[in-house]
Amino acid sequence: MNYHYDIFLCELGKFFVLDSLKGLHFCLQSSDSRVKKLKNKYQPQKGLVNKSIAKELDLYFKKKSKLKKIKISILEGTVLQKEVWRHLTKIAYGKTISYSDLALKTNKPKAVRAVASAIGKNPIAIVVPCHRVISKDGSLGGYAWGLKMKAKLLDIEGSGMADSTYRGGK
């Protein structure tokens, strides 16, 4: 399989994007420690296979796309991680869910920390919306690249009608 990559620049910084004919495999901050390992492991060529990925990401940051058109294909992860990431894709645009509610949805109600750890290892940030998971009390919780970025991503998706304390609701 031939892998391809590019660097996507947006208001939140630079993102490393890796894809193939099977879909988008990784979308990580360029400074993420995983990027160097991925380049060594997959030996990607410069230039994405699916040129529309960058366009969709750009439209997302302009509040004109919900990223539904991007086909994803997970290359790495444990069974639990892949299950958590699958459930992340079901969280509606502009909505949030608590870590404990996500643990319930993955049939691991007592494994909230393991679910949170899986969220933190999400290989396809933004497109697989780990930023939509917040603390039960409505606060942001954590985020691999900092709470400032998480808040910005949630603000991009915000429409003024909140479903969490963070969004001004409950």
The set of catalytic residues is 130
**49 Cβ partners below 8 Å, 6+ apart?**
2, 4, 19, 20, 21
Which residues 6+ apart lie within 8 Å of 109 measured at CB? 100, 103
Q: Give strand pairing partners of 7.
A: 16
Find tokens 């643990």 and name the residue: 103
As to burial, measured by CB atoms within 10 angstroms (0-12 exposed, 13-18 middle, 19+ buried), residue 23 is middle
Indicate the SS3 state at residue 19. strand
